[in-house]
Amino acid sequence: MTQDLFDDEAASGPLPLAPGAVVLRRFARPYDGALLDAVREVIAQAPLRHMVTPGGLRMSVAMANCGDLGWVSDRTGYRYDRLDPESGKPWPRLPDVFRRLAAEAASRAGFEGFVPDACLVNRYEPGTRLSMHQDRDERDFSQPIVSVSLGLSAVFLFGGPKRSDMARRVPLDHGDVVVWGGPARLHYHGVLPLKEGAHPFWDGCRINLTFRKAG
Ligand code: MD3
Ligand code: FE
């Protein structure tokens, strides 16, 4: 029985978490050295910062962006912007390893030709959480989102199309990549408070990269 499941996966590719949500366990591990260098380069030019929600609350996740467009939040709302509001300059360019990893993961999940124009870098320290939300600031919801988890593990909450839908708890570990497309694209999701821990990738933190075609 177990062997049949493995054979199935070998034959048909990765199994979906839900329709449209494909988990690629450890897919990013072979790239993690290059990813570390690239993240450091990006945040040297666009430092991680705690943005403010339209309601005036400081987000506990620290964020930065690279690519043509970056996701920003302030008292006026959420939007994608070509410029980093902290520096007034364009966001750093998307590192080649980011572009390659995102396209390979999307292709593995059945989205050929994914060309992201935005990458949001999220840093979680112990205690940091992300409350349940939908990602709906992008122009075309038929485009997937590719997420890459690095460093400390987190418990991801994967809900449904309504805020009140029950959420599943999905552990995401170093190197796990998830492609969110199709019917899962507008599902509510969040992250439980990060637990204290140690991981060689990044001292005491979780880093999450989300690749989008925003414009
Ligand atoms: C499911 N980030 O940046 S990545 C976000 O771990 C965000 O930093 C989380 O939610 C993090 O908006 C989760 C996984 C993820 C990203 C986008 C999704 C899951 C998603 C869009 C639709 C459904
Ligand atoms: Fe999100």
Q: What gap in Å lies between CA 169 and CA 53, rounded to an integer?
A: 25
123: closest CA among 210, 46, 198, 62? 62
Phi, psi of 41 (to 5 degrees): -65, -45
Mean pLDDT of the chain: 95
Distance 86 CA to ligand 2 centre (A): 22
Checking if the pLDDT of 10 tops 80, the result is no
**Domains of the chain with CATH codes:** 2-212 (2.60.120.590)
Model confidence pLDDT, tens digit, residues 35-84 = 999 999 999 999 999 999 999 999 999 999 999 999 999 999 999 999 99
Percent of the chain with pLDDT over 90: 92
Higher per-residue pLDDT: 18 or 119: 119
CA-to-CA separations, 159 to 11, 42, 94, 131, 132, in angstroms, rounded: 29, 31, 30, 12, 8
Q: Give the pLDDT score at 6.
A: 58
- Ligand 1 site residues (CB inside 6 A) read 120, 122, 130, 135, 145, 147, 178, 180, 184-185, 187, 189, 191, 208, 210
Q: Say yes or no to pLDDT of 8 above 90.
A: no
CA of 133 to the centre of ligand 2 (A): 6
Q: CA 171 to CA 123: how far, in whole Å?
A: 17
189 Cα to the center of ligand 2, angstroms: 6
- What integer pLDDT is reported at residue 9 of this predicted model? 63
Q: Is the pTM above the cut of 0.75?
A: yes
